[in-house]
Amino acid sequence: MINERMEKEINDQINAEFWSAYLYLSMSAWFTQRNLPGFANWMYVQYQEEISHGMKMFRYIHERGGNVKLLPIAKVDSEWKSPSDAFQSTLEHERKVTSLINSLMDTAHEIRDYATINFLNWYIEEQVEEEANADEIYNKLLMVEKDLAALYALDKEYSTRVFVDATLPAAE
């Protein structure tokens, strides 16, 4: 059975993951409106990833005999000044998510919930990748944003990103 405090904090994180998904869907719409379909695709894949992250926690609470309590999702931003501004927001957001996951891990250690510690290790590793990806794209955009040909090339590159649900167990 999952600890009551841990259950509440993971439920809060489910909300944060779904909020993240909503934010990235909003960014996808913003890029679409600016005729940058590759960046829109990148954000749409990010949206799908965040939904899968929330669902992994959803399943975990149930596996541990707890109750999922879905909360309202707060409003997200819908306007950015530029592609680099959107990715700066992405990087800042991923850093915030990292701090939330670290806080969950702190609680799991404090209450000696070893199953949740093990479960959260996946998210710790995932956040390293999430921050690195956002940082890389943000810095590329800072270099090329005023060069429309380079921006077009980056946009084309990001159109090839596809969603792979890494939260599901591998097929045997």
Domain with 16 in it: what CATH number?
A: 1.20.1260.10
Domain membership of residue 12 (yes or no) is yes
Domain membership of residue 59 (yes or no) is yes
Domain membership of residue 105 (yes or no) is yes
Helices and strands, number each (H, E), in the chain: 5, 0
Assign residue 67 a region: left if phi > 0, alpha if psi is -120 to 50, beta otherwise? Answer: beta
Domain membership of residue 171 (yes or no) is no
Domain membership of residue 169 (yes or no) is no
Tell me the C-alpha to C-alpha distance, in Å, between residue 89 and each of 1, 76, 83. Answer: 37, 12, 10
Q: What is the domain count for the chain?
A: 1
Domain that holds residue 45: 4-72+81-158
pLDDT band at 166 (very low <50, low <70, confident <90, very high): confident
Tell me the C-alpha to C-alpha distance, in Å, between residue 40 and each of 27, 97, 102. Answer: 7, 21, 29
Domain membership of residue 168 (yes or no) is no
Which amino acid would we find at residue 87?
F
Are the C-beta atoms of 34 and 148 separated by less than 8 Å?
no
Residue 167's pLDDT is 86
Residue 168's pLDDT is 79
pLDDT at residue 86 greater than cutoff 80: yes
Domain membership of residue 164 (yes or no) is no
Domain membership of residue 170 (yes or no) is no
